[in-house]
Amino acid sequence: MAGRHNDLTDVAGIRVGHYQRVGEGWLTGTTVVLSPPGTVGGVDVRGGGPCTRETDALAPGTLVEVVHAICLSGGSVYGLAAATGVTDWLGERGVGLPVGPNAGEVAPIVPAAGLYDLRPGAFDCRPDVAFGRSAAEAAARPGGLGPVALGSVGAGAGARAGGLKGGIGSASVVLEGGVTVAALVAVNSAGSPIDLATGELRAASFLLPGDMSGLGDLRRPEASDVAGAAARLSGVSPRVGNTVLVVVATDAEVSQPQCTRLAMAAHDGLARAVHPAHGLTDGDVVFAVATRSTPLASPQATSSLLQRAGTAHPAALGGLMAAGADAVARAVVRAVLFAEAVNGVPTYRDLYRSALTSVH
Amino acid sequence: MAGRHNDLTDVAGIRVGHYQRVGEGWLTGTTVVLSPPGTVGGVDVRGGGPCTRETDALAPGTLVEVVHAICLSGGSVYGLAAATGVTDWLGERGVGLPVGPNAGEVAPIVPAAGLYDLRPGAFDCRPDVAFGRSAAEAAARPGGLGPVALGSVGAGAGARAGGLKGGIGSASVVLEGGVTVAALVAVNSAGSPIDLATGELRAASFLLPGDMSGLGDLRRPEASDVAGAAARLSGVSPRVGNTVLVVVATDAEVSQPQCTRLAMAAHDGLARAVHPAHGLTDGDVVFAVATRSTPLASPQATSSLLQRAGTAHPAALGGLMAAGADAVARAVVRAVLFAEAVNGVPTYRDLYRSALTSVH
């Protein structure tokens, strides 16, 4: 069952903020996730064209296990500047690893990644340091605790999914035992989230009750829509840069290396929702964070692996990993469904009107 | 034999620029390496507390094989901001991967790493975007082609090597067949570059003629200096953050994956010059770049491995890797020898006066 907001903020303490500029050549933005004290983080980079910052610090076995914020941004390599804004903003507030003899001398850990949305916006209109500060401030306001705005906002403002408008999606699930796992995605994929032959969203079968919130019900679109959309999308030329950026969050009490496993597993949700995924022109990255406030329930069945002190039961961890991957697939579907048309990039709802029943 | 300048600029087309601020609380800086078109790059992170940017893009097999600049900076996580300055500066000049339909629409690839020098400078005095721009501009000026200023400059301005003043060092060697390999280091290590029992620099035996340029000859220091230095250095408290940042450059015609092997091998030079190295509080990183203008000579002896089209002969590549590691060891020794005292951090020359013969 989905959580209260059905988004990343269903993990207690997680805050999300968007900032974007649209119009006068601008069509890009930044999304910041702020995590509570003690949050551990891992990362898995599987795209062939990654654009990242502070990922080496998250390798298992390094000095750093915690994450203070994650910054997702448009603007390709230029957009990594937004992470500096988040780092400065946190440092000014004394949030970070203590690294000096005096109070407030901290080094905030802000892993970040960029996606390529330099078209359809103007090439020189891209996120800078101020975008990161603004998105962090948005996350710190009461609204940062959710619900998270979805669609053409934040890092998803200028995003595209194949030939369709992409954007921000999110979803959550509460597991037996009370653990919550959620995903937030910025979908800007080279591959398509739909099966052009049927017009169906590839990961529609993973949706949970509530995932369609307010959009009506999803059904197989009519042949006329399928033919019209196929014709429209076949004319879209491929881009040099793409990328799906993902943040998976959970309150489960898992270790930093286990968090890295959670990030690795989450890529499977992307594989189910987008085809093809993880291409050479995609910089697909999954960050996973765990606030560690809720024990991960252990099945009754004993196992020698249970003896490993301080680690979650393999079966329970496996369930968390699978649920995280499913949350990613659902979040991708929701990103595409909630996207709004901009600069002539069509949305799924525009091209497949018959796929959505009218809302009563 | 060492190259003309005995530094990184002996690799044709490589430019180096420093920018630092010293005084009024400032004691930090940035060093930028600009590489000519077609330069490929690899990276190997072996420190336990890395602070990096754009390293995932250099993983073998990704879309990106080229490097346009490398940015080394003080300021820990905050100093990564300097890389944004370099990226913007290059982008404004149309230097980068073409990613748009119009001229000048490029994505500069600027891998970067930070070192922790927030003490002895003031904690809030650290490199920002402007430091990166200034260092890139310095590299672009005629002086950027060398010789490279060594010691307490650029990313080495506030650096320390164990209890001694650290800084920027560089060295080069020209191999049989004409290939040049060189290293530039910013030494800010937790470990010491000297053997406290003898006062000798750990990697002194790797020095080549000319490495002492102008400093006289190196000899075993007298017992009184050794005792005095040991007493002085035993009082130095360890820091939270350290790091040795390394750039290895060659003109050899090697592939991007082979460049990654060159980076991996270069860490051995660090292991020989600093003890301990690669600690949990070190963010030790080696970037390796190859301009690929000079064929890597193949020994006469044939080998089945020779059949691998497009790859350098294993023996020739092995020689390049070993020479790169030795250049790193020499560069560390030179960094320590050329360092100048600041904020009461003693230099090797101060503590071991008897180790250096007077210059005639």
How does pLDDT run across A44-82, given as a tens digit for each residue?
999 999 999 999 999 999 999 999 999 999 999 999 999
Residue A20 lies in a domain: yes
Give the pLDDT confidence score for residue B196 in this predicted structure: 93
Give the pLDDT confidence score for residue B344 in this predicted structure: 85
| Mean pLDDT of the region B278-288 | 96
- Kindly write down the DSSP assignment for every residue of A93-144, as one continuous string: TT-SEE-SSSTT-EE----EEE---TTTS-TT----HHHHHHHHHHHHSGGG
> Any residues with CB less than 8 A from the CB of B143 and at least 6 apart, and which?
none
Contact across the interface for A80 and B87, Cβ inside 8 Å: yes
| Mean pLDDT of the region A187-209 | 96
Cα A22 to Cα B346: distance, rounded to the nearest angstrom: 54
* Residue closest to B75 by CA, chosen among B122, B43, B109, B137: B122
Residue B139 lies in a domain: yes
| Mean pLDDT of the region A297-325 | 71
Full-model pTM: 0.93
Cα B143 to Cα B150: distance, rounded to the nearest angstrom: 13
Q: Work out the percent of chain B whose per-residue pLDDT is above 70.
A: 95
Strands A200-201 and B164-165 come out as unpaired
Per-residue pLDDT band for A243 (boundaries 50, 70, 90) equals very high
Residue A360 lies in a domain: no
Q: Which of B43, B54, B77, B282 to mutate to test the interface with A (most CBs of A within 10 A)?
A: B77
pLDDT score of B304 more than 70: no
Per-residue pLDDT band for A101 (boundaries 50, 70, 90) equals confident
Please tell me which residue, B65 or A100, carries the higher pLDDT value: B65
First to last CA, chain B: 23
- How distant, in Å, are the alpha carbons of A300, B174, B259, B294, B311 from that of B297? 64, 13, 16, 9, 12
pLDDT per position as a tens digit, B313-353: 778 999 999 999 999 999 999 999 999 998 889 999 999 99
Cα A199 to Cα A219: distance, rounded to the nearest angstrom: 10
User: Across chain B, where does the E strand assignment appear?
Assistant: 15-23, 26-34, 40-45, 52-53, 69-73, 97-98, 106-107, 112-114, 160-161, 164-165, 167-174, 180-188, 194-195, 200-201, 243-252, 285-294
- In chain A, which residues have their Cβ closer than 8 Å to the Cβ of B62? 48-50, 280
Per-residue pLDDT band for A164 (boundaries 50, 70, 90) equals very high
> Any residues with CB less than 8 A from the CB of A304 and at least 6 apart, and which?
none
pLDDT per position as a tens digit, B56-111: 999 999 999 999 999 999 999 999 999 999 999 999 999 999 998 899 999 999 99
> Any residues with CB less than 8 A from the CB of A208 and at least 6 apart, and which?
A1, A2, A171, A173, A330
> Any residues with CB less than 8 A from the CB of B345 and at least 6 apart, and which?
B120, B160, B163, B164, B165
The vertex-A191 CA angle with A189 and A197, nearest 5°, equals: 140
Both structure tokens of B99 = 């990613």
pLDDT score of B308 more than 70: no
Half-sphere exposure of A60 (CA within 13 A, CB side): 12
* Residue closest to B6 by CA, chosen among B357, B333, B331: B331
Cα A59 to Cα A44: distance, rounded to the nearest angstrom: 9
DSSP H helix total and E strand total for chain B: 7, 16
Residue B360 lies in a domain: no
What's at A41, amino acid-wise? G
pLDDT score of B303 more than 80: no
pLDDT score of B301 more than 70: no
Is there a contact between A112 and A55 (Cβ–Cβ < 8 Å)? no
Per-residue pLDDT band for A224 (boundaries 50, 70, 90) equals very high
**Least CB–CB distance from B88: residue in A78, A101, A110:** A78
pLDDT score of A286 more than 90: yes
Q: What are phi and psi of A298, to 5 degrees?
A: -105, 130
Strands B243-252 and B180-188 come out as antiparallel
Residue B94 lies in a domain: yes
Give the pLDDT confidence score for residue A47 in this predicted structure: 96
Q: Nearest C-alpha of chain A: how many angstroms from B48?
A: 5
* Residue closest to A80 by CA, chosen among B96, B54, B94: B54
Give the pLDDT confidence score for residue A158 in this predicted structure: 96
Q: Work out the percent of chain A whose per-residue pLDDT is above 90.
A: 86
| Mean pLDDT of the region B141-170 | 97
What's at B310, amino acid-wise? G
Is there a contact between B16 and B9 (Cβ–Cβ < 8 Å)? yes
**Least CB–CB distance from A105: residue in B53, B123, B129:** B123
Q: What is the 3-state composition of chain A as percent helix, strand, coil, each rounded to the nearest 5? A: 30, 25, 45
Residue A58 lies in a domain: yes
- A66 pairs with which residues across the strands? A40
Per-residue pLDDT band for B300 (boundaries 50, 70, 90) equals low
Both structure tokens of A216 = 């009506």
pLDDT score of A341 more than 70: yes
| Mean pLDDT of the region B280-294 | 96
Half-sphere exposure of B264 (CA within 13 A, CB side): 10
Contact across the interface for B49 and A57, Cβ inside 8 Å: yes
Q: What count of other Cβ atoms lies within 10 Å of the Cβ of residue B309?
A: 5
- In chain A, which residues have their Cβ closer than 8 Å to the Cβ of B91? 78
Give the pLDDT confidence score for residue A357 in this predicted structure: 86
Half-sphere exposure of B221 (CA within 13 A, CB side): 26
Average pLDDT value for chain A: 93
* Residue closest to B237 by CA, chosen among A100, A11, A36: A100
pLDDT score of A325 more than 90: yes
Answer yes or no: is the ipTM higher than 0.90.
no
Instruction: Using only the alpha carbons of chain A, give its radius of gyration.
Output: 19
- Kindly write down the DSSP assignment for every residue of B242-290, as one continuous string: -EEEEEEEEEE---HHHHHHHHHHHHHHHHHHSBS-S-TT---EEEEEE
Contact across the interface for A51 and B54, Cβ inside 8 Å: yes
Query: Which structural domain range is residue B265 located in?
Result: 8-355
Is there a contact between B282 and B275 (Cβ–Cβ < 8 Å)? no
Contact across the interface for B280 and A62, Cβ inside 8 Å: yes
Specify the 3-state DSSP secondary structure of B26: strand
Residue in chain B nearest A127 by alpha carbon: B84
- How distant, in Å, are the alpha carbons of A116, A231, A265, B81 from that of A190? 10, 18, 21, 29
Residue A266 lies in a domain: yes
pLDDT per position as a tens digit, B217-263: 999 999 999 999 999 998 887 788 899 999 999 999 999 999 999 99
CATH code, B247: 3.60.70.12
Contact across the interface for B45 and A56, Cβ inside 8 Å: yes
> Any residues with CB less than 8 A from the CB of A223 and at least 6 apart, and which?
none
pLDDT score of B299 more than 90: no
A83-92, A112-121, A346-355, B195-204: range with lowest mean pLDDT:
A112-121
Strands B243-252 and B285-294 come out as parallel
Contact across the interface for B53 and A52, Cβ inside 8 Å: yes
Cα B126 to Cα B326: distance, rounded to the nearest angstrom: 32
Contact across the interface for A52 and B49, Cβ inside 8 Å: no
Q: What count of other Cβ atoms lies within 10 Å of the Cβ of residue A235?
A: 7
Strands B26-34 and B106-107 come out as unpaired
Residue B30 lies in a domain: yes
Contact across the interface for B91 and A78, Cβ inside 8 Å: yes
A178-182, A239-243, A313-317, B46-50: range with lowest mean pLDDT:
A313-317
Cα A190 to Cα B222: distance, rounded to the nearest angstrom: 67
First to last CA, chain A: 23
Longest CA–CA separation in chain A, Å = 69
* Residue closest to B33 by CA, chosen among B116, B107, B138, B115: B138
Give the pLDDT confidence score for residue A359 in this predicted structure: 55
Angle separating helix axes A256-273 and A314-338, nearest 10 degrees? 40
pLDDT score of A307 more than 50: no
Cα B102 to Cα B135: distance, rounded to the nearest angstrom: 28
- In chain B, which residues have their Cβ closer than 8 Å to the Cβ of A104? 123
> What is the b/e burial string over B88-113, where b = at least 16 CB atoms within 10 angstroms of the residue's CB?
bbbbeeebbbebbeeeebbbbbbbbb
Number of domains in chain B: 1
Cα A229 to Cα A110: distance, rounded to the nearest angstrom: 40
- In chain B, which residues have their Cβ closer than 8 Å to the Cβ of A116? 99, 107
Per-residue pLDDT band for B306 (boundaries 50, 70, 90) equals very low
Contact across the interface for B77 and A109, Cβ inside 8 Å: yes
